[in-house]
Structure 1
């Protein structure tokens, strides 16, 4: 299974009044992780968009385990948790500097035509992505 890792330095603007990372920022970090995984697989999401295809989130699950604070460095680990040629579920772990899991999550995506929002079959439209996802998944 291919796992991409990306370091994120917690910025002050990402924290709340309690001095911990505001919960919605983890979703942004998951996007950073997804982009890194796709890049490591040899692709760029922008290339898909140039073809008129977008990939909206259709389901999202997040569990908060341990707070992260300003000045710490988080590690976002991202992998393909499930893939069936139409839907992709990415898995995430966001680790604290001590290696403990701070957040876990999954996001499910479907590729659709931008103009109609109708789903596409990835293996038909993007066979190279399909093959890479098949190799990278669990």
Structure 2
């Protein structure tokens, strides 16, 4: 399956930077969230629609590798893909690039986040079958989509 990528543009605000003049490290997780929300909205369902169905997808794991800093007013491009999905969780991968003045893109950060499906009461639940099938269409690792009990 070919990888389906969503590209979300974000302009770095002054409030995103720290005393050193670079984007504060935790803000990259916000940028991941923006990319993930757009990916979901474009291909699967908005997070609002997910919540209206009675469950949420909280982040349970994250990993980031910093390659180069971003600065105030940089134009960033967040590339988002779905790596894998199971009936209860999905893993998103990200790459954040800076759009350079010459039009090229410089890789700044890469990482992933893992999200599990829970009810509003905080109990682990399975993704609805229709949503699972939509997400599975875009997962790059199809061998991890379903455990043998759901095949």
Structure 1 residue corresponding to 2:85, chosen from 79, 83, 105: 83
Q: Give the CA deviation at 1:51.
A: 2.3
TM-score using structure 1 length? 0.92
The residue number in structure 1 matching 2:115 is 109
Task: Say how many residue pairs are matched.
Answer: 134
The residue number in structure 2 matching 1:49 is 51
Structure 2: runs of 5 or more not aligned: 141-151
Whether 1:132 aligns to 2:134 is yes
Secondary structure of 1:32's partner?
helix
Q: Give the CA deviation at 1:77.
A: 0.5
In the TM superposition, structure 1's runs of 4+ consecutive aligned residues that sit over 3 Å from their partners are: none
Whether 1:121 aligns to 2:126 is yes
Q: Distance in 2 between matches of 1:7 and 1:39?
A: 15
Q: Give the CA deviation at 1:11.
A: 0.7
TM-score using structure 2 length? 0.85
The residue number in structure 1 matching 2:146 is none
Secondary structure of 2:96's partner?
strand
Structure 1 residue corresponding to 2:70, chosen from 68, 71, 85: 68
Cα displacement string for residues 10-63 of structure 1 (whole angstroms, at most 9, x for unaligned residues): 111111111111111111111000000001114111112122211111111011
The residue number in structure 2 matching 1:25 is 27
Structure 1: runs of 5 or more not aligned: none
